[in-house]
Chain A
Amino acid sequence: MTPEANHWAEKWKQIIGLPDFLPESVVAVLVLSLVYTLVVVPSGAAVNYLARKVGADLQARVGPNRVGPLGLLQPFADLVKLLQKQVDSKLGMNEKIWLGLHTMALYSTVAVLPLGSLLLLINTEMSAFLPFWASLVIAMGTMLLGLSQKSIPGWFGGIRAASQALAGALPAIAALIAVGVRAGSFFWSDIADSQGAGILAWGVFDSPFEPISFFCFLASGLVVMGIAPFDGGLSVQDIHGGVSSHLHGTQLALFRLGRHYGFFLWATITAVLFLGGWEVPDGVQAWLTENTSGFAIQMVESVLLLMKTFGLMIFVSILARVTPRIRSDQITDLSWKVLSPLSLAALAGTAIWAFWTAKNGGSP
């Protein structure tokens, strides 16, 4: 374990009030479960509700308004409904394995999810690249799940998801490397610290090339994860929802939550890479340090980051509501022919910018 890892384990032991003799692995499991149950799952419900309400407003409708005050309990009602449904017993062994495997692999990335300076469970030079592994796992799992379904919707859905993930990976990696060049490191903490709390100090405004990187990273994330309007693999119109057409009840709930988590993961990373991460304004930080425990700062950081993440997710879902679903061959075209060259050009530009900035002692 790295020194940073020890650092977080000690802090967490203090916060939860665990005895000192507990090994790190146990603390890690506890914290991972906490993050999953307190952040990932509720964020699914929150974003689902907000996106539906905002979308309904956009479409001159009311949206959820029956379950609980203002329809706030609608996501839970949906979940309970899904869990009650009879599971299709025809789901074969292969499908069970692929669904289970890709879900497990996906959630293992909670460990590298950057949610604040304290919530960095694993903070290494490779941390920033691990979510890519998750995104390719979700695509690979979806493809194998679809191919093992023995039906045209499953095959088409699976192959479309896989081809999109392959096409979107290159621009995403190029944009990430551009961020590494800017920050001088791939540690989550360094990337976040290279930016400021004010909007103009965000990474996206650091150089003329950063907005391009930001756009490429966000768009290629939607392509890789297959999020609307780039969700040809889950199109209801022609292939009844692709891979998800053969999933029911708990399986469908698992699959949907996994897809939501993919979206959440990508939005969080985008916020950390480009939108100032969890940086709190200096004055606020000083006041908090003076008047509260260190834990309060961590909470404020996480809430700030989650707000940025939710904002990004809702922005994308509003765009998806007014934009027609783009054909998957057009999506891969866009990825290879537009996003890839753009992100590579932005990477080259960022490198030159960083070189000049270093040479002139901090100013371009």
Chain B
Amino acid sequence: MSTHGESLATDLAYWGIGPYHQALPGPFRLNLNLDGEVIAETKTEIGFIHRSLEKTFELHPWSSALMYADRLDPEAASFGEMAVALAIEEVAEIAVPVRAQSIRVLVNELNRVSCHLGFLARMAQAVGAETLFHYALRDRERILDQFELLTGARFSLNFFRLGGVTADVTDGFLERVLDICEVLKIRLKEYNDLFSFNYAFLKRSRGIGVISREQILAHGLTGPNARASGFSTDTRKSEPYSGYQLLDFPVLVENDGNGDVHSRFLIRLREISQSTDILKQVIESIPGGSFLSQPVSKPVKPQPGEAYIKVESPRGTLGCHLVSEGGDRPSRVQFRVPSMAAIAILPEILRGSRMEDLPVILASLDLGIAEVDR
């Protein structure tokens, strides 16, 4: 009679998380092979909220097509609008009044701050620090309130029009934005005192999810994620648009950091501060004049041609390639979204990290799944 020897299973464990999971910033899937608590291999799966957004642009007249741009990334809605508006305006040769340009920058920078505050909240949630989560969302509410007053919406702003914006800034709006800037300066100090250099947070963020300069180049990471690794890149400086060339601000780079989670956290805190400075400059120098160069009802019929526009969204460089064949609607609209590169780099930076660091690393990359799937 033979006996069966017991064998110990030493294979890697498989865990597929998503499309819905607390650690994920949006619906996508991570297929993980785990060696104990350590992630050995990651495969990403995207496309769960594909909405045929790029195709949708081809089905609508030029001026209506623009309203779909804020669906690209609902949290940073005005950046999609900015990219598509600039692209159509370039193809159709529509001039934008200087006041409209300033209002666009104003909305963009406010949106950048609100998006980064959302990042702080997600980051705090990922490491389990409830208090910063509530503080960041409390302060974001103030900005969303201003959006609601100005545009009627809190997230899908739909405020940009061909040749300007929907409406002029309302009475007292600029003063209230200045108030918010002042409050944010105080809040940032509060965040720093409470959280940024908290020993427990440093233990959770220093040396975790490190992205090297080589990886940044290989995967085409842009925006805060690239700047956190010491890579000086900012579309607002290198290819200024909508009057950014008139504003005085440096490209923020986290030179001391090594591209880890903590550097990515700090660079966004500094960017909030920088955006408040830009907002103040814009408000001080906002020119008079019209906020729209042509009526919205005027049909647009551009000549055949194409344009490629880059804007600096809170997640990185957002590119919009637009083709006109002379018809009454776009022939092709295509986006280059910053979060795509961050998704692509995931398998590399997750390899060897612990399961408990997964939510922290994902939050630190500030992924916008809506723009990845689009």
Residues of A within 8 A of B (CB): 55, 58-61, 152, 156, 228-229, 232, 235-240, 321-330
Is B131 part of the binding interface, using a Cβ–Cβ cutoff of 8 Å? yes
**Are B134 and A232 touching (Cβ within 8 A)?**
no
**Are B200 and A324 touching (Cβ within 8 A)?**
yes
Q: How far is the CB of B14 from chain A (nearest CB, A)?
A: 9
Is B345 part of the binding interface, using a Cβ–Cβ cutoff of 8 Å? no
Collect the chain B residues with CB atoms within 8 Å of residue A322's CB: 129, 131, 194-195, 198
Is B13 part of the binding interface, using a Cβ–Cβ cutoff of 8 Å? yes
Docked complex Cα distance between A232 and B204 (Å): 12
**Are B128 and A60 touching (Cβ within 8 A)?**
no
**Are A235 and B356 touching (Cβ within 8 A)?**
yes
Collect the chain A residues with CB atoms within 8 Å of residue B204's CB: 324-327
**Are B134 and A156 touching (Cβ within 8 A)?**
no
Collect the chain B residues with CB atoms within 8 Å of residue A329's CB: 37, 354, 356
Docked complex Cα distance between A356 and B203 (Å): 41
Docked complex Cα distance between A322 and B37 (Å): 26
Q: How far is the CB of A322 from chain B (nearest CB, A)?
A: 5
Collect the chain B residues with CB atoms within 8 Å of residue A330's CB: 203
Is B372 part of the binding interface, using a Cβ–Cβ cutoff of 8 Å? no
Can you name the residue of chain B whose Cβ is closest to the Cβ of A325? B128
Collect the chain B residues with CB atoms within 8 Å of residue A324's CB: 124, 127-129, 195, 198, 200-201, 204
Name which of B37, B195, B201 has the most chain A CB atoms within 10 A of its CB: B37
Query: Known contacts A156-B37, A229-B200: does B357 contact A327 (CB below 8 Å)?
Result: yes
Task: Name B200's contact: one of A61, A236, A326 (CB within 8 Å).
Answer: A326
Please name 8 further chain A to chain B contacts, defined as beta carbons within 8 Å, in addition to the given A324-B127, A324-B198, sorted by A numbering. A60-B135, A237-B359, A322-B194, A322-B198, A323-B129, A323-B198, A324-B200, A329-B37
Name which of A325, A329, A330 has the most chain B CB atoms within 10 A of its CB: A325
**Are B131 and A232 touching (Cβ within 8 A)?**
no
Is B23 part of the binding interface, using a Cβ–Cβ cutoff of 8 Å? yes
**Hey, what's the 0/1 contact readout for B47-81 against A, CB within 8 Å counting as 1?**
00000000000000000000000000000000000
Docked complex Cα distance between A60 and B138 (Å): 8
Interface residues in B194-235 by Cβ distance below 8 A to A read 194-195, 198, 200-201, 203-204
Can you name the residue of chain B whose Cβ is closest to the Cβ of A153? B15
**Are A326 and B13 touching (Cβ within 8 A)?**
no
Q: How far is the CB of B330 from chain A (nearest CB, A)?
A: 41
Is B283 part of the binding interface, using a Cβ–Cβ cutoff of 8 Å? no
Collect the chain A residues with CB atoms within 8 Å of residue B129's CB: 321-325
**Are B130 and A238 touching (Cβ within 8 A)?**
no
Query: Known contacts A236-B22, A326-B200: does B354 contact A156 (CB below 8 Å)?
Result: no
Can you name the residue of chain B whose Cβ is closest to the Cβ of A56? B134
Can you name the residue of chain B whose Cβ is closest to the Cβ of A318? B131
**Hey, what's the 0/1 contact readout for B19-57 against A, CB within 8 Å counting as 1?**
001110000000000100100000000000000000000
Residues of B within 8 A of A (CB): 13, 15, 21-23, 34, 37, 124-131, 134-135, 138, 194-195, 198, 200-201, 203-204, 354-359
Can you name the residue of chain B whose Cβ is closest to the Cβ of A58? B131
Can you name the residue of chain A whose Cβ is closest to the Cβ of B127? A324
**Are B135 and A59 touching (Cβ within 8 A)?**
yes
Q: How far is the CB of A228 from chain B (nearest CB, A)?
A: 8
**Are A59 and B126 touching (Cβ within 8 A)?**
no
**Are A237 and B126 touching (Cβ within 8 A)?**
yes
Collect the chain B residues with CB atoms within 8 Å of residue A237's CB: 22-23, 125-128, 359
**Are A239 and B127 touching (Cβ within 8 A)?**
no
Docked complex Cα distance between A325 and B204 (Å): 8
Q: How far is the CB of A355 from chain B (nearest CB, A)?
A: 36
Q: How far is the CB of A78 from chain B (nearest CB, A)?
A: 18
Can you name the residue of chain B whose Cβ is closest to the Cβ of A155? B13
Collect the chain A residues with CB atoms within 8 Å of residue B135's CB: 59-60
Task: Name B355's contact: one of A55, A229, A238, A321 (CB within 8 Å).
Answer: A238
Name which of B22, B126, B198, B357 has the most chain A CB atoms within 10 A of its CB: B22
Docked complex Cα distance between A43 and B195 (Å): 31
Q: How far is the CB of B9 from chain A (nearest CB, A)?
A: 13
Collect the chain B residues with CB atoms within 8 Å of residue A240's CB: 21-22
Can you name the residue of chain B whose Cβ is closest to the Cβ of A322? B131
Collect the chain B residues with CB atoms within 8 Å of residue A325's CB: 127-129, 204
**Are A235 and B128 touching (Cβ within 8 A)?**
yes
Q: How far is the CB of A88 from chain B (nearest CB, A)?
A: 19
Q: How far is the CB of A65 from chain B (nearest CB, A)?
A: 16
Q: Shortest 6 CB-CB distances between A and B: which pairs?
A: A325-B128, A324-B127, A59-B134, A237-B359, A324-B129, A152-B15
10 A-B contact pairs sorted by A residue (CB < 8 Å): A60-B135, A152-B13, A237-B23, A240-B22, A322-B129, A323-B200, A324-B129, A326-B204, A327-B356, A327-B357
Collect the chain B residues with CB atoms within 8 Å of residue A61's CB: 134
Docked complex Cα distance between A323 and B131 (Å): 9
Docked complex Cα distance between A134 and B172 (Å): 63
Docked complex Cα distance between A322 and B193 (Å): 11
Q: How far is the CB of A238 from chain B (nearest CB, A)?
A: 5
Q: How far is the CB of A87 from chain B (nearest CB, A)?
A: 23
Docked complex Cα distance between A237 and B138 (Å): 22
Task: Name B130's contact: one of A235, A321, A327 (CB within 8 Å).
Answer: A321
Can you name the residue of chain B whose Cβ is closest to the Cβ of A333? B203
